């Protein structure tokens, strides 16, 4: 907001100074008249800017949580800046700006003013000459506009997209999932070995191993937190360090152990935090496993896919025990005694309590681990019998070995599996996600089986429609505000024609800086829309004012563009200067600020020349259309004059009537001086 909140003050102050310097007005009358003259344009820019940021504050989902404070802060700050520009700026200008020199004398300019004029005056002459040429050859501008707009699609595909920008946080984590049935101690040993090898990489500062740290306390799942040295003290980015860990450490881990290098952020859902996640749901587990295995075979062939995994777990060895009720009845064994005895063996039962210094501790009775894991240990256990006293439990049961799934995931009471992967550096997240979704949709799953994005992919799926809705609402609010300010349905449309002209240059700036379309760059695009629209408002409003004063259209357009060139350049450079520290920032977390600043600075700078030329030309095009519309209306009325609504009585000047008067005056002067 630093570069935006000073724009109103710059525009007002520049207009006051122009009245003092060019019209030789005293500071107090100049402050009042210049503020009145520019007031409507400043009010229109401020309200339309607020109309851009307020819809952002009311977006839903995680995106809305991100941007609520941004939208409200920007809207409030811009509103306050308008109040300051209308009150404090004129007051200070009237008292601090120098008075004009006496008639016939020129003010002695300072070195800074001479340097500034030496730079600005050639730019103004060049701009005036180019704009005059373009107003005479408007088809050239039309070709430039069409050519720029046609590049939008290819540039957008080239840039790619994602949910969050690449951001070096100097940390990541390694997800470790040992084979099913692995003990806590064995999982810790595996994780420690991976952590030790990771610390051998020069960019890694420290690691922290945690096992069974989730709510489920799964003994075979662990995480290795990896902390990197400061980004300014290493040559490799975080993404490249993660890829190096994958290539040099994780690639050597046995295939039975699942590992993945992933980000540490607030969007972790479940045990894994992959960049691309999709969930397949359905009634039959066997078919889900079949779909999952087929999908994994095809997804691993997609370029850019890494850390490919699924929630499918390998089957475990299990022993199924079935009581022989007929033989138990013959031997006098109660089936409940069989159940209770097996419960002691496997799960344990509360047996007693232990008291120590006034505190009681429950005591659970269970067989030792070496007996629990060995089916042959069943031969050592006896169950009570009403007729024989004790009977070996193997006499009243039968058992068999088999394979079975140890975990079945359900979502909304429906069985489901999750396919996840990360993205290799150099590939865009949205492209990989779309390719994975295409593979999953091509599985030809029957009715009852559904596919939906999950985790970060789900939020990324919502991102486009959410921002599209915010941009649409911003356009509607901007148009209504400008229509109320200009009292016209035409001029707001002319002003908003500047917005699509900036989009290809915004994408080009992302392509140059290596960025992508994400939550922050799309927010920067909204900021860019607000800034570019401001320039068009200043040009159109001043052109209308000059035409009301009696200046012909083309001269008014040229003079308005020339008069407003200085404030446009000043506000643009001030805004870019405010954003440059974000573009050049380094260190932890700088990726977010770079993402929003690069698209604003690049788009604003590269589109400035085209918008400065295109808006005046577009103004003349739509003015010609309006003239044609008025001609059609007159023909339909068969020459009848429109009813007098009293506009002149309240000071409203018809631009087209003023043009006609100016045109007649030119004809009269030509008749009086045929050779002059």
Mean pLDDT, 10 residues at a time, the chain of 676 residues: 76 87 86 88 83 79 77 86 90 88 74 82 90 90 89 86 83 89 89 93 92 81 91 88 91 89 66 83 88 90 89 80 88 87 82 85 84 82 86 86 78 87 87 90 88 85 82 84 80 84 88 84 84 84 85 89 88 83 81 84 84 88 81 67 61 54 46 44
Four-residue CA torsion sign, 93, 652, 491, 540: negative
Which one, of 294, 264, 291, lies nearest residue 279 by Cα?
A: 291
- Dihedral over alpha carbons 371, 372, 375, 377 (to 10 degrees): 30
Q: Which residues of 215-237 are buried (b: 16+ CB within 10 A; e: fewer)?
A: eeebbbbbbbebebeebeebebb
State the span(s) of the chain assigned CATH 1.20.1640.10.
2-163+460-659
Sign of CA dihedral 332, 338, 339, 344: positive
CATH 1.20.1640.10 fits 2-163+460-659, yes or no: yes
CATH class of the region 170-264: alpha beta
In the chain, CATH 3.30.2090.10 covers: 316-404
CA-CA-CA-CA torsion sign (629, 635, 636, 638) = positive
Q: If we measure between CA atoms, which residue out of 513, 663, 535, 537 comes closest to residue 609?
A: 535
Distance CA 54, CA 66 (A): 14
For helices 138-150 and 590-637, give the axis angle rounded to 10 degrees. 130
Q: In this predicted structure, what is the pLDDT of residue 47? A: 84
What pLDDT shows up at residue 656? 54
**Residue for token pair 């969007």:** 267
Beta bridge partners of 411: 414
Domain 316-404 coded CATH 3.40.50.300 = no
d(CA 536, CA 495): 5
Token pair of 655 as six digits:
């631009």
C-beta of residue 243 within 8 angstroms of C-beta of residue 305? no
Beta bridge partners of 418: 279
d(C-alpha 41, C-alpha 19), whole Å: 17
- With beta carbons less than 8 A apart as the criterion, state whether 74 and 596 touch: no
pTM, two decimal places: 0.75
Residue 547 is predicted with a pLDDT of 86
Q: Which helix (H) or strand (E) holds 102?
A: none
Q: What DSSP designation does 648 have?
A: G
Neighbours of 479 (CB within 10 A): 17
553-563 vs 519-548: helix axis angle to the nearest 10?
130
Radius of gyration from C-alpha coordinates of the chain? 37
Nearest of 254, 253, 250 to residue 262 by alpha carbon: 250
- The ranges of the chain annotated as CATH 3.30.70.1430 are 170-264
């Amino acid at each position: 907001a630093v570069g935006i909140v000073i724009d109103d003050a710059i525009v007002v102050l520049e207009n006051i100074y122009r009245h003092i310097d060019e019209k030789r007005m005293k500071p107090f009358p100049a402050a009042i008249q210049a503020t009145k003259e520019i007031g409507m344009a400043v009010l229109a820019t401020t309200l339309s800017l607020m109309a851009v940021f307020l819809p952002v504050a009311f977006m839903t989902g995680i995106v809305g949580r991100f941007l609520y404070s941004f939208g409200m802060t920007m809207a409030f700050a811009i509103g306050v800046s308008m109040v300051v520009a209308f009150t404090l700026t004129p007051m200070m200008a009237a008292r601090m700006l120098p008075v004009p020199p006496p008639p016939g004398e020129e003010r002695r300019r300072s070195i800074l003013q001479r340097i500034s004029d030496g730079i600005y005056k050639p730019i103004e002459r060049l701009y005036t000459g180019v704009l005059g040429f373009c107003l005479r050859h408007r088809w050239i501008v039309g070709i430039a506009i069409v050519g720029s707009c046609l590049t939008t699609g290819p540039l957008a595909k080239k840039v790619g997209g994602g949910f969050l920008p690449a951001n070096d946080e100097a940390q990541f984590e390694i997800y470790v999932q040992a084979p099913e049935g692995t003990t806590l101690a064995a999982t810790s040993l595996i994780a420690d070995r991976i952590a030790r090898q990771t610390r051998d990489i020069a960019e890694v500062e420290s690691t922290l191993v945690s096992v069974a740290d989730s709510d489920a306390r799964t003994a075979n799942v662990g995480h290795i937190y990896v902390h990197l040295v400061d980004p300014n003290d290493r040559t490799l980015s975080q993404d490249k360090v993660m890829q190096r860990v994958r290539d040099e450490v994780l690639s050597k881990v046995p295939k039975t152990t699942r590992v993945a290098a992933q980000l540490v952020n607030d969007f972790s859902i479940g045990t894994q935090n992959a960049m691309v996640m999709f969930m397949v749901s359905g009634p039959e587990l066997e078919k889900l496993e079949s779909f999952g295995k087929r999908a994994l075979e095809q997804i691993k062939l997609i370029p850019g896919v890494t850390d490919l995994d699924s929630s499918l777990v390998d089957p475990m060895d299990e022993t199924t025990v079935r009581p022989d009720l007929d033989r138990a009845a013959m031997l006098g064994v109660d089936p409940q005694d069989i159940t209770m005895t097996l419960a002691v063996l496997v799960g344990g039962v509360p047996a007693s309590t232990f008291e120590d210094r006034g505190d009681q501790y429950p005591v659970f009775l269970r067989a030792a681990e070496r007996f629990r894991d060995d089916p042959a240990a069943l031969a050592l256990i006896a169950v009570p019998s009403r007729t024989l006293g004790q009977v070996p439990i193997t006499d009243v049961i039968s058992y068999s070995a088999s394979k079975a799934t140890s975990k079945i995931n359900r979502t909304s009471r429906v069985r489901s599996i999750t396919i996840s992967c990360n993205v290799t550096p150099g590939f865009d997240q949205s492209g990989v996600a779309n390719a994975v979704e295409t593979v999953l949709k091509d599985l030809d799953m029957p009715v009852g089986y559904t596919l939906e994005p999950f985790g970060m992919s789900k939020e990324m799926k919502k991102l486009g429609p959410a921002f599209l809705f915010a941009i649409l609402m911003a356009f509607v609010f901007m148009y209504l505000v400008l229509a109320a300010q200009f009292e016209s349905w035409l001029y707001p449309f002319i002003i908003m024609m500047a917005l699509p002209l900036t989009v290809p240059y915004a994408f080009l700036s992302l392509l140059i800086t290596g960025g992508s379309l994400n939550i922050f760059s799309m927010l920067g695009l909204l900021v860019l829309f607000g800034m570019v629209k401001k320039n068009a408002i200043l040009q159109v409003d001043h052109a209308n004012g000059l035409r009301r004063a009696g200046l012909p259209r083309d001269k008014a357009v040229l003079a308005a563009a020339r008069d407003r060139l200085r404030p446009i350049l000043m506000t643009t450079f001030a805004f870019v200067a405010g954003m440059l520290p974000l573009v050049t920032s380094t260190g932890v977390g700088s990726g977010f600020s770079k993402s929003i600043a690069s698209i604003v600075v690049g788009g604003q700078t590269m589109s400035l020349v085209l918008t400065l030329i295109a808006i005046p030309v577009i103004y003349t095009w739509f003015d010609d259309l309006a003239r044609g519309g008025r001609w059609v209306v007159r023909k339909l009325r068969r020459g009848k004059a429109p009813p007098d609504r009293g506009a002149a009585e309240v000071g409203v000047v018809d631009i087209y009537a003023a043009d006609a008067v100016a045109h007649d005056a030119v004809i009269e002067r030509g008749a009086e001086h045929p050779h002059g």
